[in-house]
Amino acid sequence: MQFGFLGIDHKNAQLDIRDKISFTDAMKLELFRKAENVGVDQCMVLSTCNRSEVYYFYSEEGQKAEIHRIYEEMFPDIEVKGYVSALSGKEAVAYLFRIAAGLESLVLGEDQILGQVKEALDYSRTMGYAGKELNKVVRDAITCAKRIKAELKISEKPLSASYIGIQKLQEKAGIKGKKILVVGSGKTAVLALKYVYEYGAGHVAACSRTFSHARRLREEFPEIEVISYEERYGAMGQCDIVISATSSPHLVIRREEFSPVRPMIFLDLAAPRDIDTAFADEPLADLINLDTLQEIAENNRIEREQLVEKSRELVEKELQETSLWLLQSRMDPAIESLQQRCGAIVEDSFAYLDRKMELGPREKKLVKKVLNASLQRLLREPIRELKRLDTKEEQEEYKRLITQLFQL
């Protein structure tokens, strides 16, 4: 059997296309059943916001074309063919390894994809479409990704200025239990809120120029206090940390409007700036803005790219073992046939001896055990040599010879 892959991702399809080419669980099951009808009984679908891909094992070249046809027919309203990429053999296995390790992700090295690969395999196995080969390849890819994550820690080099900013807050003063004000209600502000809650923030308040926008934050953060934009300076006096992330073209927090009376940290995630740079000269204030954060993000990006190269080297090493296992597993049907023939001979020989000799229960067990051990001893070396064959051509030749010699 050969391993194959086809699908779309963020590299070959824009978001509006990816939104239309995605799989529900019901669609995955439909694809599995159609694949089984053309002889492909091991199949996995990885469907995320950035990719919709199918991984499968096939035994005949014609089955690849059938899987392509089935994939395209799943989305009849879209000209899928122009967006789909495909690989087979060792290249397909290597691609899956890189996928699991986050090396093919939009954000290089992200580790969310690892959980998504696990879930995809679990679904295939639950539905009965993940056999020995698919389980082996995907689990090896997951193991390799875990090793990369543990040894190289790529995902610990964040590229998001928002996340880096929150990390800076954590380093400087800690976030757990702190009183925080977030000014803004857009995507950056929402991200900041998610991160501070993850770090265990205490009382969190939010405001926005448009009060209704700030109030909508309660849908995701029900415990948040929403105040009016005009109350921001009064609220700041009760806070340990102020985070601003608006799209305003002007400063929203001015030095002449507010004087800290105790140590505070200001995090400005806006461009252009939201917070007056004069706070940098205030003894009780610590100001963090995008100038600092973008420099850290750029350094992290460079370091992450270097780690990605090391990850690719590690993938290549791990890939060799899986590729060898797949190559050797092609001889399993021939070896299994030999074992079955051996079992049949043992049963025939034992039946003859049992008819000719008066054997008790203990002697019957012993005779059958000796007959089986003798034939297994004869096959042990040939089987070992069959597993060492390292080219497809040799394997096919030996399969032909075994079939002919043993009349399998």
The pLDDT of residue 43 is above 80 = yes
Tell me what the mean pLDDT of segment 171-180 comes to: 94
Cα–Cα distance, 392 to 379 (Å, whole number): 22
The pLDDT of residue 365 is above 80 = yes
Q: Does residue 253 contact residue 275 with C-beta atoms inside 8 Å?
A: yes
74-90 pLDDT per residue, tens? 999 888 888 999 999 99
Output the pLDDT for position 334: 65
pLDDT over 70 percentage in the chain: 91
Tell me what the mean pLDDT of segment 139-158 comes to: 85
The pLDDT of residue 302 is above 90 = no
> Does the predicted model carry a pTM greater than 0.85?
no
Distance of CA 97 to the CA centre of its chain: 10
The pLDDT of residue 276 is above 80 = yes
Closest among 155, 130, 108 to 3, alpha carbons compared: 130
Tell me what the mean pLDDT of segment 278-297 comes to: 89
Q: 39 or 369, which is more confident?
A: 39
Confidence band, pLDDT 50/70/90 cuts, at residue 387: low
Catalytically active residues are 49
Output the pLDDT for position 306: 85
Residue-averaged pLDDT of the chain:
88
Length, in residues, of the chain? 408
Our CA angle for 175, 173, 164, nearest 5°, is: 70
316-343 pLDDT per residue, tens? 888 888 877 766 666 566 667 777 777 7
Helix (H) or strand (E) holding 181: strand 180-183
217-258 pLDDT per residue, tens? 999 999 999 999 999 999 999 999 999 999 999 999 999 999
303-319 pLDDT per residue, tens? 878 888 888 888 988 88
Cα–Cα distance, 17 to 25 (Å, whole number): 19
Distances (CA, A) of 363 to 358, 367, 372: 9, 6, 14
Helix (H) or strand (E) holding 381: helix 361-388
